[in-house]
Chains A and B, each alone.
Chain A
Amino acid sequence: QKEVEQNSGPLSVPEGAIASLNCTYSDRGSQSFFWYRQYSGKSPELIMFIYSNGDKEDGRFTAQLNKASQYVSLLIRDSQPSDSATYLCAVRETSYDKVIFGPGTSLSVIP
């Protein structure tokens, strides 16, 4: 069974700081990587995806991928209280063409 691992948290950062969320995966052949945000009691929603090694930026969010080390991270700059949520890392399996989710990291941004 392929695995995706994340620190469960909670991760607490002050408002305006950079939040760093990390994820490791076991399927070395994985090609697609996703970050979903889930507010309490709500459904997950996609905020970033990345396919290639390096960084991908979208507004305050930056996804970083290192395939050699099998990790993907999400940086949130200028964190806001509205960023408080659980962040799910997801990896698309190469063998079965489906996505495996990590357990999620709970982020709390303190005003």
Chain B
Amino acid sequence: DADVTQTPRNRITKTGKRIMLECSQTKGHDRMYWYRQDPGLGLRLIYYSFDVKDINKGEISDGYSVSRQAQAKFSLSLESAIPNQTALYFCATSDSGETQYFGPGTRLLVL
């Protein structure tokens, strides 16, 4: 089984809808991250969490919120989706902030 899983893998939604992307990990890491990837822009950090009680905004947090339900679970929500949130979303984990282990990604299309 994969160490970092993301659900759903693909999602199509309409403008204004609320959606949640979920991430689970079995690596036992305290640190979890949400990134979005757009062509030519690389990975941009949305939110990160160093433990269950510690959540921090990344460089592009506007329009997103997160919830760290447990050490192993970190969810990303789009409260009211808009077309420019169409992107590939990755969850990642790390133990000491060094090597990051990525989930398979969620491809989101907002119409």
**B59-97 interface bits toward A, Cβ cutoff 8 Å, 1 = contact, 0 = none:** 100000000000000000000000000000010000001
A32 at the interface (CB under 8 A from B): yes
* Docked complex Cα distance between A99 and B40 (Å): 18
Are the C-beta atoms of B59 and A43 separated by less than 8 Å?
A: no
- State how many residues of chain B have any CB contact under 8 Å with chain A: 21
CB closest residue in chain A, given B103: A43
Cα distance, A80 to B54, chains bound together (Å): 43
Q: How many residues of A contact B (CB 8 A)?
A: 21
User: Quick one: closest A residue to B94, CB to CB?
Assistant: A99
The CA of A8 and the CA of B38, in the complex, are separated in Å by 13
- Does B105 contact A92, Cβ atoms closer than 8 Å? no
Q: B100 is contacted by which of A99, A103, A104 (Cβ under 8 Å)?
A: A99
Contact indicator A34/B99 (Cβ below 8 Å): yes
Select from chain B the residue with minimum beta-carbon distance to A104: B42
Structural contact, B99 and A98, CB atoms closer than 8 A: no
Q: Digit string of B31-51 for contact with A (CB within 8 Å is 1, else 0)?
A: 001010000111111001010
Interchain CB contact under 8 A, B43 and A101: yes
Q: Does A46 count as interface, using CB distance less than 8 angstroms? A: yes
Query: Which chain B residues border A42 with CB–CB below 8 Å?
Result: 104-105
Contacts of B48 in A (CB 8 A): 98
Q: Are B104 and A43 in contact (CB under 8 A)?
A: yes
Contacting pair B45 A92 (CB below 8 A)? no
Is there a chain A Cβ closer than 8 Å to B1's Cβ? no
Answer whether residue A63 sits at the interface, using C-beta atoms and an 8 A cutoff. no
A107 to chain B, nearest CB (A): 15
The 8 closest A-B pairs by CB, nearest first: A103-B42, A43-B102, A101-B43, A101-B42, A46-B99, A97-B97, A104-B42, A44-B102
Contacts A43-B105, A44-B102 known; 20 new A-B pairs at CB < 8 A: A1-B59, A34-B98, A42-B105, A43-B90, A43-B103, A43-B104, A44-B43, A45-B102, A49-B98, A88-B43, A97-B97, A98-B45, A98-B48, A98-B97, A99-B97, A99-B100, A101-B44, A102-B42, A103-B40, A103-B41
> Chain A residues in contact with chain B, CB under 8 A?
1, 8, 32, 34, 42-46, 49, 88, 90, 92, 97-104
